[in-house]
Chains A and B, each alone.
Chain A
């Protein structure tokens, strides 16, 4: 027991005070924030200059409607459905206005105007021009000319505004009055409410973000710390420390000490993240709000933290025992990286399964996924966040998870004790089986 503690202590102190630990602790939340905010920030930067568009309206009826339609869209109130930091910033980006100018026909032909507009475009007097032929309302084709065709965002908006303008004009031509028209076009009022137990809260769109963050943090933590275990085992094998250690501790003690020590490092890091997230929820949001940046952080119940830790531990022990097994049968870290690929693939699959599970957390598929120890950490947590399953399911999932971890530990330990002293040729699967059976 004292020897186990010695191994745990070494593993913990060597890692918590390492540069890598400090860097990842700071970097990961930062990176996630960056991924969340960056797209909005980038778009708001682009929003600076309005797009100058000249419209040649061959029909003579559409320019006014198009202008109205584009302006209307900017003010559309129904976009409020999804606020939250990210979406708000995107909304701001959308306010990128268009400056529309009608090209006077003055009896000139279409191609004359086209040529003149092309010249203005190339001289950068304007950013785009739109040709609406006279027969557009019946059969013609509208053409947009731009210098920058990769800005799909604006292009799509112009297209939809034009769509709306043409639809209105056609309705008008069919003698539909404007009252009926606006009734037809009124968007539906839509609101999502999450019911859990007795309380119900209005989903602010942060729900999905939470599912994603929880799933992602779970995945990345298990992956990260599994790799740490792999590295630690390979280090001891590569440097041949294992033999010295085995003259003092039993292989099982050494392996367990390693797994426990690294798990404590992981819990330390998760606690720091949890506290940082909590602190941000308490102070950061109001601080941002006072500066005019509306940020919504979904409320996270303390129970979720507890479940996160429990499922993290279950996933960590399931995967890291496999990593330890792989580490013990290879000789170099490159070889270890190759052999660990199947484990990583399994982990990546478990992460992407958050999509079907979050879409349908109560389905049979979700149930079974959350019972398979390789997938349960992400799947069950996503279920808990989206639509908390009955407690017995959570308990059963944890029970299966921890029992599998114990079973895998047993198998890995038996391979580990022999593998750590074997160099050269990698053992075949039948050999591994024999090692497991050998007393």
Chain B
């Protein structure tokens, strides 16, 4: 599904608690059928923003639209929500618990049971169906919670730190499920402060820091706008160009290669030609992309 349909549209939203501003004038758009990463350090306002999108709390000012409509309680049924703080009834059986959460989303009876069995099997929890929640490990409980968020096949799935506390095997399992859901056309908002995972699965990101949006866009756009214009380079032969080129602002030598930082508007292609013309043998020439982590750290420390 490639379209420019907007699933969630947040406009100029502000939320305060007493004299603490949790979210300041936030605007963002989540495109349909994509994975939208809501990133930011702890306390940046991610969870508060999500709560407003899910209609658990109302913004002080600004508007939130879902599927082209102003948010209301009916629309809640089209959202699946996995909050950061997990919560399950400890003394309820897994199956009863899932039936209850399904019923709260108007999925009942046989339909609910079929879906529960399918999801328990998918997340390898079938044998735990009749067990009480308290007997399950933390990771298993988390997967149960995830199931409760997707049982009603929501069009919009909101996952707040879905991978925290999971072992690598389960992280992979859940990541696959999330990508499957994306391919099935669901829109996914994914909140985390773990940049490596965000980098792997997000299409678009929005970075929050200290209650405000710092940047927004597709991962591609964000990265290229952050291109520090540096090249990982390994050459044999002439080093003369490196010393003389006006395109270079700085050279850092690593063990067997070097990182060359070009001047602001320099064209890397031109630099490569210079190198070849000088007779050097280029064995590695790679444009270095900043990692999401670099961008995150730079943006966050910039603000401090």
Q: Is the CB of B57 within 8 A of A249?
A: no
Q: Report B-chain residues with C-beta under 8 Å of the C-beta of A10.
A: 96, 100
Q: Is the CB of A248 within 8 A of B76?
A: yes
Given A2-B106, A6-B103, residue A247 in contact with residue B88 (CB < 8 A): no
Q: Report B-chain residues with C-beta under 8 Å of the C-beta of A247.
A: 54-56, 76, 79, 81, 83
Q: Is the CB of B76 within 8 A of A239?
A: no
Against A, the Cβ 8 Å flags (1 = close, 0 = not) of B68-107 are 0000010011010101011111111000100011011110
Q: Is the CB of A240 within 8 A of B85?
A: yes
Given A239-B90, A247-B79, residue A3 in contact with residue B103 (CB < 8 A): yes
Q: Is the CB of B101 within 8 A of A248?
A: yes
Q: Report B-chain residues with C-beta under 8 Å of the C-beta of A241.
A: 87-89
Q: Is the CB of B85 within 8 A of A249?
A: no
| SS of B interface (majority) | loop
Against B, the Cβ 8 Å flags (1 = close, 0 = not) of A236-247 are 100111111111
Q: Report B-chain residues with C-beta under 8 Å of the C-beta of A242.
A: 87
Q: Is the CB of B100 within 8 A of A6?
A: yes
Q: Is the CB of B81 within 8 A of A244?
A: yes
Partner of B83 from the list A3, A244, A249 (CB cut-off 8 Å) is: A244
Q: Is the CB of B57 within 8 A of A421?
A: yes
A14 at the interface (CB under 8 A from B): yes
B49 at the interface (CB under 8 A from A): no
Q: Report A-chain residues with C-beta under 8 Å of the C-beta of B91.
A: 14
Q: Report B-chain residues with C-beta under 8 Å of the C-beta of A235.
A: 89
B187 at the interface (CB under 8 A from A): no
Partner of B87 from the list A6, A243, A250 (CB cut-off 8 Å) is: A243
B148 at the interface (CB under 8 A from A): yes
Q: How far is the CA of A413 from the CA of B105 in the complex (A)?
A: 21
- Nearest CB on A from B226, distance (A): 34
Q: Is the CB of B104 within 8 A of A249?
A: yes
Q: Is the CB of A246 within 8 A of B56?
A: yes
Q: Report A-chain residues with C-beta under 8 Å of the C-beta of B77.
A: 248
| SS of A interface (majority) | helix
Q: Is the CB of A243 within 8 A of B83?
A: yes
CB contacts under 8 Å to B, within A241-282, are 241-250
Q: Report A-chain residues with C-beta under 8 Å of the C-beta of B108.
A: 2
Q: Is the CB of B87 within 8 A of A240?
A: yes
Q: Is the CB of A245 within 8 A of B90?
A: no
Q: Report B-chain residues with C-beta under 8 Å of the C-beta of A2.
A: 103, 106, 108
- Nearest CB on A from B150, distance (A): 13
Against B, the Cβ 8 Å flags (1 = close, 0 = not) of A1-13 are 0110011011000
Q: How far is the CA of A245 from the CA of B54 in the complex (A)?
A: 11
Instruction: Determine the residue in chain B with the shortest Cβ distance to A248.
Output: B104
Q: Report A-chain residues with C-beta under 8 Å of the C-beta of B103.
A: 2-3, 6, 9
Q: Report B-chain residues with C-beta under 8 Å of the C-beta of A239.
A: 87-90
Please count how many residues in chain A sit with their CB below 8 Å of the partner chain's CB atoms: 22
Q: Report B-chain residues with C-beta under 8 Å of the C-beta of A236.
A: 87
Q: How far is the CA of A240 from the CA of B160 in the complex (A)?
A: 14
Q: How far is the CA of A250 from the CA of B55 in the complex (A)?
A: 10
- Nearest CB on A from B34, distance (A): 21
Instruction: Determine the residue in chain B with the shortest Cβ distance to A434.
Output: B18
Q: Report B-chain residues with C-beta under 8 Å of the C-beta of A9.
A: 103
Instruction: Determine the residue in chain B with the shortest Cβ distance to A431.
Output: B18
Max chain A Cβ within 10 angstroms of own Cβ: one of B55, B83, B108, B148: B83
Partner of B56 from the list A3, A6, A421 (CB cut-off 8 Å) is: A421
Q: How far is the CA of A235 from the CA of B83 in the complex (A)?
A: 17
Q: Report B-chain residues with C-beta under 8 Å of the C-beta of A3.
A: 103-104, 106
Partner of B92 from the list A14, A240, A248, A421 (CB cut-off 8 Å) is: A14
Against A, the Cβ 8 Å flags (1 = close, 0 = not) of B210-251 are 000000000000000000000000000000000000000000
Against A, the Cβ 8 Å flags (1 = close, 0 = not) of B8-24 are 00000000000000000
- Nearest CB on A from B90, distance (A): 7
- Nearest CB on A from B151, distance (A): 11
Q: How far is the CA of A250 from the CA of B77 in the complex (A)?
A: 12
Q: How far is the CA of A430 from the CA of B79 in the complex (A)?
A: 35
CB contacts under 8 Å to B, within A1-31, are 2-3, 6-7, 9-10, 14
Instruction: Determine the residue in chain A with the shortest Cβ distance to B148.
Output: A244
Q: Is the CB of B104 within 8 A of A6?
A: yes
Given A3-B106, A239-B88, A250-B73, residue A244 in contact with residue B57 (CB < 8 A): no
- Nearest CB on A from B66, distance (A): 13
Q: How far is the CA of A239 from the CA of B96 in the complex (A)?
A: 17
- Nearest CB on A from B106, distance (A): 6
Q: How far is the CA of A248 from the CA of B73 in the complex (A)?
A: 8
Partner of B86 from the list A7, A14, A240 (CB cut-off 8 Å) is: A240
- Nearest CB on A from B41, distance (A): 20
Q: Report A-chain residues with C-beta under 8 Å of the C-beta of B88.
A: 239, 241
Max chain A Cβ within 10 angstroms of own Cβ: one of B54, B55, B90, B104: B104
CB contacts under 8 Å to B, within A92-150, are none
- Nearest CB on B from A141, distance (A): 68
Q: Is the CB of B101 within 8 A of A244?
A: yes
Q: Is the CB of A248 within 8 A of B105?
A: yes
CB contacts under 8 Å to A, within B44-59, are 51, 54-57
Max chain B Cβ within 10 angstroms of own Cβ: one of A6, A7, A245, A247: A247
- Nearest CB on B from A224, distance (A): 19
- Nearest CB on A from B50, distance (A): 10
CB contacts under 8 Å to A, within B241-293, are none
- Nearest CB on A from B167, distance (A): 22
CB-defined A-B contacts under 8 Å, sample of 29: A2-B108, A3-B103, A3-B104, A3-B106, A6-B104, A7-B104, A235-B89, A239-B87, A240-B83, A240-B85, A240-B87, A241-B87, A241-B88, A243-B56, A243-B85, A243-B87, A244-B83, A244-B101, A244-B148, A245-B104, A246-B56, A247-B55, A247-B81, A248-B76, A248-B77, A248-B101, A248-B105, A249-B104, A421-B57
Q: Which B residues have a C-beta under 8 Å from some C-beta of A? A: 51, 54-57, 73, 76-77, 79, 81, 83, 85-92, 96, 100-101, 103-106, 108, 145, 148
Given A244-B101, A250-B73: 5 more A-B contacts, CB < 8 Å: A6-B100, A243-B56, A244-B148, A247-B55, A421-B51
Q: Which A residues have a C-beta under 8 Å from some C-beta of B? A: 2-3, 6-7, 9-10, 14, 235-236, 239-250, 421
Question: Nearest 7 CB-CB pairs, A to B?
Answer: A241-B87, A240-B87, A6-B103, A248-B104, A240-B85, A247-B81, A239-B87
